[in-house]
Chain A
Amino acid sequence: DQQVKQNSPSLSVQEGRISILNCDYTNSMFDYFLWYKKYPAEGPTFLISISSIKDKNEDGRFTVFLNKSAKHLSLHIVPSQPGDSAVYFCVNGSSNTGKLIFGQGTTLQVKP
């Protein structure tokens, strides 16, 4: 039973346009949420996070939105750049346990 669902396995976007990656979760016990990015042959790297008490967090071109009532998380990248092409993981975290639960990932391709 997947607790973190990324229903789109892949996404293709033109350079300069907005990329929107979506994520749904089922467990309300998570109190913080993260996005990790992964390039081939490398480990995942932290991108951005948001606490459950907020609904938006912005860091440069990256913005994460949290809709707790819908149990939905999204990552916006604008403008998208070819270097953003990677696998993006939606991650749920619990400050009680310290555990992270990863979604299956969405492969983003940004075309020049």
Chain B
Amino acid sequence: DAGVIQSPRHEVTEMGQEVTLRCKPISGHNSLFWYRQTMMRGLELLIYFNNNVPIDDSGMPEDRFSAKMPNASFSTLKIQPSEPRDSAVYFCASSRDGYNEQFFGPGTRLTVL
């Protein structure tokens, strides 16, 4: 099993640009989570999906952030427009259901200049 796959691994962009992060969960997992890790706030949950449906997006910082899960094998996290304070490592995780062990991807390190 390839595990959770995230792309890109690193992204450097300029303020104001649109950024799209991608995630492929483990096959057979029906819950998907997006996290952000920063020095100040640690690892925080942004949004999670169950069976492709967003269940809780209370952690999404503001309207510039949006996430979609068009099918069971793909999800995107989009930031538009990006700002320097969005610089962080973004992790995607999946689980068989919402209450079991979550498996994390390697993360995408985003730098907004």
Residue ranges of A at the interface with B (Cβ–Cβ < 8 Å): 34, 41-46, 49, 89, 93, 95, 97-105
Contacts and interface: CB of A to CB of B under 8 A. Distances in A.
B44 A44 contact: no
Nearest to A32: B99
Contacts of B1: none
Contact of A43 (B56, B93, B95, B97): B93
Interface residues of B, number: 25
B48 A46 contact: no
B75 interface: no
Interface string B52-79: 0001100000000000000000000000
B25 interface: no
Contacts of A42: 106-107
B101 A46 contact: yes
